[in-house]
Amino acid sequence: MSIGVAAVLATCTAALDANEMMHAATRDPALLQAHLSFGPPSGSSNTYRLVFQTNSTTTPGASAAGGLVKWGASPASLATTVAAGCRSYSIADMCGAPANSSANFIAPGFIFDALLTIPATHAAPVYYCISADGGKTWSPVKAFRNGPKSIVQGGVQGGVQGRTKFLAFGDMGVPSAGSFSAENSTALLEERVGDADFVLHVGDLSYAVGRAHIWSEFGHQIAGIASVVPYMVAIGNHEYDFPGQPFAPKIFTYGTDGGGECGLPYNARYHMPGPELVAGPGDYVITANGGAAAPTTPAMPLPRDYGPRFDPRMYSPTTTTNNNNSKRMPGDGDGGGGGGGAAALGAKSRHVPGSEGELPAMNNLFYSFQIGNVHVAVLSSEHNMTVGSTQLQWLDADLAAVNRTETPWVVFGEHRPFFDSSSASLLPELGFLKKMLEPTLLKHKVDLALFGHIHQYTRTCRMVDHKCNDAGPVYMVIGTAGATTQVPFIPKALEPWVKVQSMLWGISSFDAVNSSHMHVQWIQDKDSIVGDDFWITRGSALLP
């Protein structure tokens, strides 16, 4: 059962029994859009981010200094209190239309961000509640498991960290914005999240695309899930893409899909365990404090047949900085050359002091985490991943550091696929992404690659260069959680590496049973029927 806001008392409300608190996915407004994510490594402890927010800065009693989290080993003993940091954003931070329209923008309120440090030996569930008003009122008590649910903390199975289960999908949205299957997918996730150790959403989260209220709708929609397991995300085109984005080869289909948000609401509302980054011309660089800095190692240029890298002459500001720290784009009503899409959108190039074309610091672009016997690495398909780029260098180093004896399974995720069996496979960036990324995945013996972007289901054999081969990963396109736009499939008979195709919607479930076998199911959301059921084995062929 769930508790309404009126029932939230000055002490944490324990309305569910211990098992329900950890498994019940209740859509309660008092949860304040709460969502967990894995935090950065911290010695012998596990860390988690807990982000939650008010609906507005006028929420009664709420204040920027009012974010608190209390947690402990039982609902009756929440002995540790953690103060949450606070951030927000305004209409002035939006970089184009429709996001910067007063008809579409709604202030997000106070976004609170708390870092919870839990000893790795903490075997009990972690019970917690949250407050936005300095402890005057508290949410219902929720709970999550500190580590894999399948084993006692600190335990191992044959030298391998414990069995790990997770759910994954992409391209969800909310029903009010046209993602009609999102309700079914959310309900399916709520049914199954009790057994999962984390959820991975590979891009295109809310489909707000400049309509601010949709971010809040989405936050409340997933809060019952994301408040009981880490909810890990990747950036997609509908969170980010805009005219003048730092990395946009001419032949790519990067366009205006971000609706003038340019990744800012996405970055403010989520906190993944990645490095703080800032964009330079065509690439991202790591900085100590998230401020501007010159790239330390310039990325190699793209091959000539893929067009030029970001050319600052195409999008460099032509007028002085205005009051919202943005600069005008050529053709954006300033008499500058070349109107095009930027002028049509009224887009502006975000600017941080430093080299032209920079963006505010972001930490949700590429990152990795490990739980039980699974290591997951996530990249941004909307940013530079060419040879020598920060992203690709990071991925190579991250995968090289995985101890495959302790953590045998390696999973890769990003939004745009580079293997697909629909007509979208003809898009030029797919071939480019394959050329840039497949060698690294093969080098490090990645087992599974997960993508969204295409709103259909495709699953391949283990393969290398479009040929079934046990030396490569299984590729899955799982952008089937709600978004409805679809394109024709290329008949499976023409692509022998394609094992299953489906135009239906659903979510995927993964169970890394041990060091050699992972059980995978794709479940249709309208009727919970299993549409695909298979095993991935390490070191041998894919089982039927």
With respect to residue 311, please indicate whether it lies within any of the assigned structural domains.
no
Question: Given a cut of 50, is residue 342 above it in pLDDT?
Answer: no
pTM over the 0.85 mark? no
Mean pLDDT of 83-93: 93
Q: How far apart are CA 140 and CA 133, in angstroms?
A: 15
* 312 to 123, 217, 342: CA distances (angstroms): 53, 37, 14
What is the per-residue pLDDT across 241-281, written as a single tens digit (0 to 9) for each? 988 787 888 878 888 999 999 999 999 999 999 886 654 44
Between 235 and 346, residue with greater pLDDT: 235
Mean pLDDT of 113-126: 92
Give the chain's domain count: 1
In the prediction, which pLDDT does 357 show?
Answer: 29
E-strand spans in 180-233?
198-201, 231-233
Model confidence at 531, pLDDT cuts 50, 70, 90, reads very high
With respect to residue 176, please indicate whether it lies within any of the assigned structural domains.
yes
Between 317 and 115, residue with greater pLDDT: 115
Contacts of 334 (CB under 8 A, 6+ apart): 318, 319, 328
With respect to residue 180, please indicate whether it lies within any of the assigned structural domains.
yes
460 φ, ψ to 5°? -105, 175
Question: Given a cut of 50, is residue 3 above it in pLDDT?
Answer: no
**Residues 62 and 71: beta-carbon distance below 8 Å:** no
In the prediction, which pLDDT does 23 show?
Answer: 47
In the prediction, which pLDDT does 332 show?
Answer: 24
Q: In terms of Cα–Cα distance, which of 211, 213, 29 is closest to 108?
A: 213
With respect to residue 532, please indicate whether it lies within any of the assigned structural domains.
yes
What is the per-residue pLDDT across 29-84, written as a single tens digit (0 to 9) for each? 778 999 999 998 887 789 999 999 987 766 778 889 999 999 999 999 999 999 99
DSSP 10-59: SS-B--S-HHHHHH-----GGGTT-EEEE---BTTEEEEEEEEE-SSTTS
With respect to residue 306, please indicate whether it lies within any of the assigned structural domains.
no
Q: How far apart are CA 272 and CA 230, in angstroms?
A: 10
With respect to residue 10, please indicate whether it lies within any of the assigned structural domains.
yes
Residue 85 belongs to a domain with what CATH number?
3.60.21.10
Mean pLDDT of 185-194: 94
Question: Given a cut of 60, is residue 190 above it in pLDDT?
Answer: yes
Question: Given a cut of 60, is residue 444 above it in pLDDT?
Answer: yes
Q: How far apart are CA 197 and CA 192, in angstroms?
A: 11
Q: What angle do CA 352, 358, 361 make, to 5 degrees?
A: 70
With respect to residue 139, please indicate whether it lies within any of the assigned structural domains.
yes
What is the per-residue pLDDT across 382-411, written as a single tens digit (0 to 9) for each? 998 999 888 999 999 999 999 999 999 999
Residue 183: Cβ-neighbour burial (10 angstroms; 0-12, 13-18, 19+): middle
In the prediction, which pLDDT does 539 show?
Answer: 65
* 454 to 106, 424, 485: CA distances (angstroms): 29, 7, 8
Q: For the chain, what percent of residues have pLDDT higher than 70?
A: 75
Q: How far apart are CA 265 and CA 42, in angstroms?
A: 27
Please tell me the least confidently modeled range out of 207-216, 357-366, 521-530. Answer: 357-366
Between 4 and 466, residue with greater pLDDT: 466
Half-sphere exposure of 105 (CA within 13 A, CB side): 19
Q: How do 283-286 and 457-464 pair as beta strands?
A: unpaired
In the prediction, which pLDDT does 486 show?
Answer: 83
Q: For the chain, what percent of residues have pLDDT higher than 90?
A: 58
What is the per-residue pLDDT across 365-379, written as a single tens digit (0 to 9) for each? 999 999 999 999 999
Write down the mean pLDDT value for the chain.
Answer: 79
Between 71 and 153, residue with greater pLDDT: 71
With respect to residue 329, please indicate whether it lies within any of the assigned structural domains.
no
What is the per-residue pLDDT across 12-29, written as a single tens digit (0 to 9) for each? 544 444 444 544 555 577
In the prediction, which pLDDT does 277 show?
Answer: 64
Residue 392's Cα: distance from chain center in Å?
18
Mean pLDDT of 512-536: 95
- Structural domain including 243 reads 5-155+164-279+363-537
